[in-house]
Structure 1
Amino acid sequence: MTRIVVGVDGSESSVRALEWAVDRASRDGAVVEAVHAWHVPYVASSMGGMPFDVQMLADGARATLDEVVGRVDASGLPEPVVATLREGAAAPALVEASHDADLVVVGSRGHGGFVGLLLGSVSQQVASHARCPVVIIPADADADPDGAPSDS
C-alpha cells in the first residue's frame, strides 16, 4: 500500500478516520493525503447580485483542513500528511482522489445531514463509487487499523 486518502470535514468522525489512516500508513510506509472539499453554497451562487466572499470560504476550508491535520500525530509516517483542498462537493472529490489511491478512509458521519442515519451521504457515495477499497470508521466506536473494535 502506497497512498491512503482520507476525507476530512472538521468533524470528530473525520479526525478518527485520519488517526486510523495514519496508524495504518505507519505500518505500511504509505503516504496519507487528507482531502477537504468546499464549495459555494447553491443559495449564495444563485443569488447573482448578492456579494459573497469566496476567498473567505476557501480560507475557512483551509483552516479546517489544517486544524484536523494538526490534531493527529503523524510522526510515525515516512513523510508528513499531505493536506489537499479541493473545490466542489465532498463525495465527488473523494471518488476522484480514489482513482490513484490504494485506500480511501472516511468517517461514517460528518457535519450536516440527519444525525440518526448510520452512514452519512458522503460515506455512502464514496463506498459505492470509489475506485479502490474504502474503510468507514464508525462514529460510535473506536476501531483499530485491522478493523476490529478496540477493547477500550
Structure 2
Amino acid sequence: MTSIVIYATKKGSTGLYAKTFAEKNDYQIFEYTQAPPEELASAEKIFYFGSVYAGNVLGLDELKKKISTSQQITIISVGLTSKNDQEKLAEIHNGIMKIFPEAKMFHLRGRLEKEQLKLPEKLIVKMISKASKKKAAHEKLNIEEAIEKVADIGSVDYINLEELEIIK
C-alpha cells in the first residue's frame, strides 16, 4: 500500500510533526500546496497533518477537491487545544467530519511564539488572554491558559514527538 504525508502549517509545529512522521515511516512528504496531482492520485493512504486556526483545520477543503473517496485518509490536527478541552476537540473533529466523514482522526498539541504572529493575531491573543484572566482558574480551558502564556511570556511549546507512535 502506498502512503504519503501531506501537511499544512503556518507557524511550523505541524510541519515538524509531519516531517518526523514521514521520516520514521519512510513516506514521501509534500506541503499541501505543492503535492503533485499524480502522487495524490496514486496514494492509497494519505496522512494529512493540518494546523488548527479558529477551530478549523487548514487546507481540508482544498485537499477534498484533489483526492478520491476510495483513498484512506487520516487527519492529524495540530493546535494548542489539549485532550482535556473536550468541547474544543469536538468542534475540531466535527469540522473535519463535515469534509471527511470517513477519516481517522488524531489531535496533537503544538507550539506558538508571539514573535511569529502578525498584528491581527497578536490582537486576538491579547483579547483572549484578557478575557481568560477574568475567569476563575477552574473555569479556564487549557487552550486559554496556553494563550495567556503566549501573551505574558511570549511562547508555549507542547510538542511531543512520541505521540506520533499512536498514528497508524
TM-score by length of 2: 0.36
Higher relative contact order (CA 8 A, sep 6+): 1
Higher normalized helix content (fraction of residues): 2
TM-score by length of 1: 0.38
Query: Greater CA radius of gyration, 1 or 2?
Result: 2
Higher normalized strand content (fraction of residues): 2
